[in-house]
């Protein structure tokens, strides 16, 4: 396994869930961190936990759902030195029929899940061009990237982008000191589900749920091993393999059954509060 001691990582969506767990995992490996998300208090608490492991942990609050936000983030993140690991983890979805939520939420989803991933990947890879040291790009997609998912149409389409984009980058980077890895988690116990207005899942969805720590550990391992794509968890792997063997309409029908109905009531506000 690569020795990461003294390297510097940017982790987006580090205020909770998988991003916070990735930050802790990297801190334990001696990686200095730049942590970003909207909620400054949560970020500061996670940065303090990481700093207690003997690394520096800089907090840069940013709303990556806003056009142009990656520029100021990247400038702040690289002020004290180059970034060696770029972890594009921030993302959100909603579990409602398309068109039933406000258009601003769709625009933020596209900005955060697609545009910010593209912009930060670009800034990172352009900055690393010609450098001789190892560099790692890790983009978090979803098993939803493998099939259509009713009630998550836009979210899963955004993850199709992340998967295809990152796999292509992986192949472009072959033979260079940089690598790009796409990790496709299945259900993971985080704030994601409450934020999405989801959670009335079938037994099979609940049985395959993993912790954010398990997901983060395998994501970091896959990145360090230079994997192209990695799906954490056996049931998730089988599901992504299985959809290749059935008609696409059947996979979509099955997803509707596995994920159940949207939770009634209004979706949580898209604010950092
Ligand atoms: N949990 C699952 O079942 C699951 C399954 C497949 C894929 N994933 C993917 O895993 C990634 C992490 O999600 P999670 O499960 O850990 O959920 P989470 O706990 O809700 O974390 C999402 C992170 O994204 C940040 N974020 C949200 N909106 C943002 C914005 N506008 N600007 C900047 N940061 C923003 C959040 O921070 P703030 O709210 O502080 O901004 C938070 O740190 C996402 O890309 C998600 O799509 C999750």
Taking residues 240-265, report their average pLDDT.
Answer: 95
| Out of 19-28, 159-168, 192-201, least confident range | 192-201
The confidence score (pLDDT) of residue 162 equals: 99
Percent of the chain with pLDDT over 70: 99
12, 23, 37, best to mutate for ligand 1 pocket (most atoms within 8 Å of CB): 37
102 phi, psi to nearest 5 deg: -65, 145
Nearest to 167 by CA among 101, 159, 188: 159
Query: In this model, does residue 159 exceed pLDDT 90?
Result: yes
Is the CB of residue 161 less than 8 Å from the CB of residue 110?
no
Tell which wins on pLDDT, 13 or 200.
13
In this prediction, residue 1 has a pLDDT band, given cuts at 50, 70 and 90, of confident
Does residue 155 carry a catalytic annotation? yes
Nearest CA to ligand 1 atom 42: 13
User: 233 is written with which tokens?
Assistant: 């968890």
Task: Report the 3 state secondary structure along 87-111.
Answer: EECCCCCCCCCCCCCCHHHHHHHHH
Q: What pLDDT was estimated at residue 272?
A: 67
pLDDT of residue 199: 87
Question: Which residues form the pocket of ligand 1, taking CB atoms under 6 Å from any ligand atom?
Answer: 13-19, 37-39, 42, 62-65, 89-93, 108, 112, 140, 142, 185, 187-188, 190-192, 195, 212, 272
Structure tokens at 250: 């059947």
CB atoms within 10 A of CB 36: 28
CA distances from 115 to 24, 101, 122 (A): 26, 20, 10
Mean pLDDT of the chain: 96
CA atoms of 60 and 180, how far apart (whole Å)? 24
Q: How far apart are CA 123 and CA 128, in angstroms?
A: 9
Mean pLDDT of 52-79: 98
Q: What is the DSSP letter of 129?
A: T
Of 70, 161, 190, best ligand 1 pocket probe by most atoms within 8 Å of the beta carbon: 190
Length of the chain: 273
| Residue with token string 């989803």 | 109
Question: Is 174 a residue whose pLDDT tops 70?
Answer: yes
Q: Which domains does the chain have, with CATH numbers?
A: 8-259 (3.40.50.720)
Atom of ligand 1 nearest to the CA of 209: 3
Residue 273 has pLDDT above 90, yes or no: no
What is the per-residue pLDDT across 203-228, written as a single tens digit (0 to 9) for each? 989 999 999 999 999 999 999 999 99
Report the pLDDT value the prediction gives residue 164, as an integer from 0 to 100. 98
Task: Report residue 252's pLDDT band, with 50, 70 and 90 as the boundaries.
Answer: very high
The residue among 119, 233, 228 whose CA lies nearest residue 181 is: 228
Predicted pLDDT of residue 169 = 98
Residue with the bigger pLDDT between 119 and 207: it is 119
Please name the residues in contact with 267: beta carbons below 8 A apart, sequence gap of 6 or more. 94, 96, 101, 105, 195, 196, 197
Please choose, from the candidates 24, 248, 242, the residue with its C-alpha nearest in 3D space to the C-alpha of residue 156.
248
Q: At what angle do helices 17-28 and 40-51 cross, to 10 degrees?
A: 20
Which residues pair with residue 188 across a beta bridge?
210
């Amino acid at each position: 396994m690569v020795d990461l001691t003294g390297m510097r990582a940017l982790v987006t969506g580090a205020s909770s869930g998988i991003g916070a767990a990735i930050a802790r995992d990297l801190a334990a490996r001696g990686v200095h961190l730049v942590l970003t998300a909207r909620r400054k208090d949560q970020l500061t608490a996670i940065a303090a936990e990481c700093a207690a492991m003997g690394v520096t942990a800089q907090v840069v609050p940013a709303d990556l759902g806003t056009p142009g936000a990656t520029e100021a983030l990247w400038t702040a993140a690289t002020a004290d030195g180059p970034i060696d690991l770029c972890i594009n983890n921030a993302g959100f979805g909603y579990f409602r029929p398309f068109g039933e939520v406000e258009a601003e939420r769709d625009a933020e989803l596209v900005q955060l899940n697609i545009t910010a991933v593209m912009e930060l990947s670009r800034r990172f890879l352009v900055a690393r061009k010609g450098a001789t040291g190892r560099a790692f790009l890790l983009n978090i997609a979803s098993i939803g990237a493998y099939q259509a998912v009713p009630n998550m149409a836009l979210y899963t389409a955004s993850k199709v982008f992340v998967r295809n984009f990152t796999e292509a980058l992986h192949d472009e980077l072959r033979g260079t000191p940089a690598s790009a890895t796409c990790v496709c988690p299945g259900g993971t116990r985080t704030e994601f589900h409450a934020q999405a207005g989801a959670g009335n899942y079938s037994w099979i969805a609940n049985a395959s749920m993993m912790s954010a720590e398990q997901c983060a550990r395998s994501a970091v391992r896959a990145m360090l091993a230079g994997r192209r794509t990695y799906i954490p968890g056996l049931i998730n792997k089988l599901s992504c393999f299985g959809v290749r063997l059935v008609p696409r309409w059947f996979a979509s029908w099955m997803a509707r059954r596995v994920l159940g109905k949207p939770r009634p009531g209004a979706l949580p506000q898209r604010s950092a509060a």
